[in-house]
Amino acid sequence: MQPGTEADSQGGTTPTCRLAEREKTACPLCGKVVSRKTLAHSHTCRADAATRAQLQEERARARVEERMRRLQADREAAQLLEQRRAKYANLALF
């Protein structure tokens, strides 16, 4: 847009969506007041980043717990197998 044409853009020719983009709104997550356009495209939300970090942490923890559970299950299965083998070995003695 060239300087001097601004009066024309205020004459009702600006599309409504453009006006909506310039409308100020508060981010529902962090409460920062930005334009709708900024919120939709370039707003780096601190609350969002925190939520994402938390989500990643939870997911990582879940993965570790899952691995531990599987290891534990393997260990228990091995123990059970060992117990059975010992029992059969004892039976075989008689």
Q: Which residues bind Zn ion (CB under 5 A)?
A: 27, 29-30, 45
> Closest distance between Zn ion and the C-beta of residue 43, in Å?
6
Is the CB of 19 or the CB of 47 nearer to Zn ion?
Answer: 47
> Closest distance between Zn ion and the C-beta of residue 49, in Å?
9
**Whole-number Å distance between alpha carbons of 19 and 12:** 10
> Closest distance between Zn ion and the C-beta of residue 27, in Å?
3
Q: Which distant-in-sequence residues (6+ apart) come within 8 Å of 1 by Cβ?
A: 9
Is the CB of 26 or the CB of 68 nearer to Zn ion?
Answer: 26
Is the CB of 19 or the CB of 33 nearer to Zn ion?
Answer: 33
